Amino acid sequence: MSKSTIQYWNTLAAANKSQWSVIADTNGELEQLTLSMDEVTGDYTRLTRFKAGADTSMFGGKSHDYPEEIFIVSGRLFDVAFGIWLEAGDYASRPPGEVHGPFICEQECLVLEISFPSQAVTSG
Asked whether residue 1 carries a pLDDT value surpassing 80, the answer given is no
Question: Which tens digit of pLDDT belongs to each residue from 42-66?
Answer: 999 999 999 999 999 999 999 999 9
Asked whether residue 6 carries a pLDDT value surpassing 90, the answer given is no
Distance CA 40, CA 49 (A): 26
Mean pLDDT score of the chain: 93
Q: Where are the alpha helices (DSSP H) in the chain?
A: none
SS3 16: helix
Instruction: Provide mean pLDDT across the span 58-87.
Output: 96
Percentage of the chain with pLDDT > 70? 98
| Omega within 30 of 0 (cis) for the link into 102 | yes
Write the DSSP symbol of residue 40: T
Q: Which of 45, 62, 40 is nearest to 6 (CA)?
A: 45
Strand residues in 1-124 grouped as ranges (E): 21-22, 30-37, 44-50, 68-74, 76-79, 84-87, 91-94, 103-104, 109-115
